[in-house]
Homo-oligomer: A and B are copies of this chain.
Amino acid sequence: MSKKVFPLAYYYDGILSKNRIVLAQAISLAESNLPEDQTLSSTLITKLLPHIKSSFRLGITGVPGVGKSSFIEAFGQTIIDAGHQVAVLTIDPSSQLTKGSILGDKTRMETLSKNKSAFIRPSASGNKLGGVAHKTREAILLCEAAGFDFVLVETVGIGQSETLVKSMVDFFMLLILPGAGDDLQGIKKGIMEMADGFVVTKADNDNQTKANKAQADLQHALHLFPAQANDWIPKVIQTSVITKKGLHDVWEMLATFKNHQTINGYFEHNRQQQQIAWMQEYFQFLIESKIANDVTLKEKEMGLKKSVAAHELTPIAAATELFQLFLNKK
């Protein structure tokens, strides 16, 4: 990855003039772990904030094999046909290790990646999932400042990143693979309840009966959950990237959602809450980083945790000891 860093004005002007090479460089800057890069990136984004226009942030998740790439490839075109500029970002905490998905992303959405109205960015890498989240949130803002008014955040279905994606999007969508009856078994606890909408994929040919059953099962399961705080009733839509069935319905659902949530004020409310939560998370991240990067603090923390797990020390006594040391390590 290039370590080249440019002056603030270069990034600022480049992004506002919708230069996608500069956009990619700015995202790399945001992803950098160097303190000076982080400061520059933070300054850049604060400067860009007033230029961010109205946008829609869609989170997409689903188990491996559900057809996320194919769906995004097809639905991305639907979004573009509706007159939007779409950016696709991926949260993949495993990419640091495998590096595999970066190449994968490039080839996965071949048609979409060639479209002038689309911008596809492989996963942010990071040692910690929390760090990845901050970087993805910054990437969202950078894409929006560069004129992409529809940001799609995709997560690999490994069960950890869904909550993070939920915390940074307006609409959280779960893709469902029609299966052999136990359709919902593969979904991790709590994920289903977070979804604003469900998309049953591969609802074509031999799969149609299974797709019908998956949809019916989901509709039934939804009755078991109480209403969402935002007064939105999640919908279940069957789609096929082969026949294009349902793609327009998904688009309609999102449009209805945005309209509904804007009228009841929850759209902006949700964004504000997300921003404040992000600030709190980042503050927490700075605290944790300070401990992680200080040998004395780190060793003390590990020792205390060991004593606490062995029931030799109360958690309160241990936390107080660590806190005192933390304050003295200015």
Contacts and interface: CB of A to CB of B under 8 A. Distances in A.
Contact of A327 (B184, B276, B309, B330): B330
A187 interface: yes
Contact of A314 (B141, B276, B285, B323): B141
A317 interface: yes
Contacts of A134: 316
Chain multiplicity (copies): 2
A100 interface: no
A275 B316 contact: no
B189 A275 contact: no
A308 B283 CA distance: 13
Nearest to A52: B311
A249 interface: no
B226 A189 contact: yes
A46 interface: yes
Interface string A141-167: 100000000000000000000000000
A121 B263 CA distance: 47
A224 B184 contact: yes
Say whether chain A's binding surface is mostly helix, strand, loop, or mixed: helix
Contacts of A265: none
Contacts of A264: none
A319 interface: yes
A46 B313 contact: yes
Interface string A26-59: 0000000000001000110110010010000000
Given A189-B225, A189-B226, A42 B317 contact: yes
A278 B327 CA distance: 20
A272 interface: yes
A171 B313 CA distance: 23
